[in-house]
Amino acid sequence: MGLAIRVENLNAWYGQTHTLRDVSLNIPANHATALIGPSGCGKSTFVRCLNRMHETNPTARVEGSVIMGETDIYKDASPVEIRRRVGMVFQRPNPFPTMSIYDNVASGLKLNGFSKRSVLDEVVERSLKQAALWDEVKDDLKKKSGASLSGGQQQRMCIARALAVDPEVLLMDEPASALDPVSTSKIEDLIFQLKDQYTIVIVTHNMQQAARVAENTGFFLSGKLVEFDKTHKIFTNPTDKRTEDYITGRFG
């Protein structure tokens, strides 16, 4: 099994607040990895450190290494390059409200200098098909704004937008927490389909969701990675008592 990302002794701060403490973790390629833990445990900060979104907060700083392939993302590449290689889908859909569905999906490509209409058409169609949205919107691509779609459709459109720039890794921070059960099921089905082509890291409060979609799961607590293992083992026979206490509902 190849590695997509190797994290070594990662520490992160927002101002004086030490949010992540000495996190080391190997994320396997072409698998889904789930991150669980109570609110405020550092898991969302961790995924933001994987594509340098953390840096958008002016008080933030990072120490340690995040290595993708041969690239140390904090030393050997620009944030723009890393965010192209590592896409992100947020908790709530964030369509560009004044743009059509087509332009929403194509926006990252255009920012990266692609302007040829035939290329944009091809990538928009492919990305929407990958996000299981094409059949629902193909007749309205340029007529309707991205914001006119339902919440579940908007989230799948945002996934298509992330896929359009052909990332290596897709980060999902609570991607279904604001969605209804039917839309949540569609997002989970998508994760199953996409992990053959992409490495997926999903933050979730829903432990059943982690058990359904991820081969590996990490448990965060108070800014530390307490345990990381095969998902089945984490949920049936965890090594650390704190993990067992969390998944059995004793706290969190």
- Return the amino acid letter for 1: M
Please report whether residue 162 resides in a domain: no
Please report whether residue 15 resides in a domain: yes
For the chain, list the strands marked E by DSSP.
3-14, 17-28, 32-36, 60-68, 71-72, 86-89, 169-173, 199-203, 216-221, 224-230
Average pLDDT of 38-60?
93
Share of the chain above pLDDT 90, in %: 77
Domain that includes residue 79, residue range: 3-93+168-247
CATH number for position 63: 3.40.50.300
Name the least confident of 51-55, 75-79, 111-115, 139-143.
111-115
Q: Is the model's pLDDT at 64 over the cut of 70? A: yes
Confidence of residue 231 (pLDDT cuts 50, 70, 90): very high
Q: Is the model's pLDDT at 252 over the cut of 70? A: no
Number of domains composing the chain? 1
Q: Which strand (E) or helix (H) includes residue 75?
A: none
Please report whether residue 34 resides in a domain: yes
Q: Is the model's pLDDT at 251 over the cut of 80? A: no
Q: Which of residues 196 and 101 earns the better pLDDT score?
A: 101
Rg (CA), the chain: 18
**What pLDDT, on a 0 to 100 scale, did the predictor assign at position 1?**
54
Please report whether residue 137 resides in a domain: no
Please report whether residue 24 resides in a domain: yes
Average pLDDT, whole number, for the chain?
92
Quote the tokens at residue 21: 């403490």
